[in-house]
Amino acid sequence: HTPMYFFLCNLSLADLCFSTNIVPQALVHLLSRKKVISFTRCAAQLLLFFIFGCTQCALLAVMSYDRYVAICNPMYYPTIMTWKVCVQLAVGSWASGILVSVVDATFTLRLPYRGSNSIAHFFCEAPALLILATTDARTSEMAIFLMGVVILLMPVSLILVSYGHIIVTVVRMKSAAGRLKAFSTCGSHLIVVILFYGSAIVTYMTPKSSKELKTLVSVFYTMVTPMLNPLIYSLRN
């Protein structure tokens, strides 16, 4: 019933759906000799991957704003982060995630795929699919890159600004106990931000990275980070 846990609930839901969309199918392919997925299921997996991944990006930025208000303006926190505002921020996060996802999925799936149908990846991710397109994919790559700026770099900028103000406020605190409490409050969120955004930026904002590196990084943010999130937040709380 507090903003931090309300946003954490939304993040947990997005995290759960994000993992469920990818991990079961990946396990099936690991355990079977015939590693096949239909184009329709591949398209569905791609769209859901974008929706839940992009929503997480927006939610992490919203959570950083929540921590900024709580630490830098504690007296006004109850009046700023009202239930109505929290719901609007959560709905906005899901809506922005869906909007960006539809654009990314459309630009990926509109291309013709008439050549090789062997995906060099463990799930249907845009960079792996664009390689198989039988026409010039530069327009789609540019569109996905621009959407990456919107859903990755803009939230990261907001997070950096929020934590910049938080650090300045914490350093000015006279009480050592107050400083420790403030840093512990933000520590778990900062760890998740670094793990998730760092790996996602490598995949979508560095097009010249090797396929092997992108696959390794994809394992990290689709399986390792969602596995660590409950531990990071639960143990802290």
pLDDT, averaged across the chain: 87
Reply yes or no on whether the pLDDT at 178 is more than 80: no
Reply yes or no on whether the pLDDT at 88 is more than 90: yes
* Confidence band, pLDDT 50/70/90 cuts, at residue 81: very high
| Least-confidence region, from 52-61, 136-145, 202-211 | 202-211
Residue 163, number of CB atoms within 10 A of its CB:
19
Reply yes or no on whether the pLDDT at 187 is more than 80: no
The pLDDT assigned to 219 comes to: 84
Q: How many CA atoms lie within 13 A of 96 on its CB side?
A: 23
Instruction: Please report, for the chain, the start and end positions of each structural domain, with discontinuous segments joined by +.
Output: 3-170
Fold of 3-170: Rhopdopsin 7-helix transmembrane proteins (1.20.1070)
DSSP SS3 for 207:
coil
Q: What is the pLDDT of residues 55-70, one digit of tens each?
A: 999 999 999 999 899 8
Higher pLDDT, 124 or 203: 124
* Confidence band, pLDDT 50/70/90 cuts, at residue 18: very high
36 contacts: CB under 8 Å, gap ≥ 6: none
Widest pairwise Cα distance in the chain: 66
| CB of 43 closer than 8 Å to CB of 109 | yes
The pLDDT assigned to 226 comes to: 83
The pLDDT assigned to 207 comes to: 65
Q: What is the pLDDT of residues 216-232, one digit of tens each?
A: 888 888 888 888 888 87
* Confidence band, pLDDT 50/70/90 cuts, at residue 181: confident
DSSP SS3 for 173:
coil
Nearest residue to 7 (alpha-carbon basis) of 235, 229, 231: 229
The pLDDT assigned to 84 comes to: 95
Higher pLDDT, 187 or 122: 122
Reply yes or no on whether the pLDDT at 21 is more than 90: yes
Reply yes or no on whether the pLDDT at 115 is more than 90: no
* Confidence band, pLDDT 50/70/90 cuts, at residue 236: low
The pLDDT assigned to 34 comes to: 86
Higher pLDDT, 207 or 29: 29
* Confidence band, pLDDT 50/70/90 cuts, at residue 209: low
The pLDDT assigned to 17 comes to: 93
Reply yes or no on whether the pLDDT at 89 is more than 80: yes
| CB of 46 closer than 8 Å to CB of 125 | yes
φ/ψ of 15, rounded to 5, equals -60, -45
